[in-house]
Amino acid sequence: MIINIKAFGIAREIFGSTVVSISLPDTAVVADLLPEIKRLYPAMNKLSSFAIAVNGCYATNETALTAADEVAVIPPVSGG
């Protein structure tokens, strides 16, 4: 299946786009998505952390994915 991922903050700069598509197995969970993001976009490995949201809620590694899901990469936020 193809997962469309919205990128925010520094992730958008790393991806070079606000939305990217990644191919995953039909039975994929968030834990399958993370290494694929890091493989395709090695600069993501330099971030101290980043979160994945699925359909507007922060996801765990066990969260199942479908092609219809709204998936977002949310990098750490800094500021004062």
Residue ranges per domain, the chain? 2-74
| CB-based burial, 1-17: b 16+ in 10 Å, e otherwise | eebebbbeebbbebbee
Per-residue pLDDT of the chain in tens (80 residues, 90 and over written 9): 999 999 999 999 999 999 999 999 999 999 999 999 999 999 999 988 899 999 999 999 999 999 999 999 998 876 55
Q: Nearest-CA neighbor of 33 among 56, 52, 10, 7?
A: 52
Which H or E run contains 77? none
Query: Yes or no: is domain 2-74 CATH 1.10.645.10?
Result: no
Global pTM value: 0.88
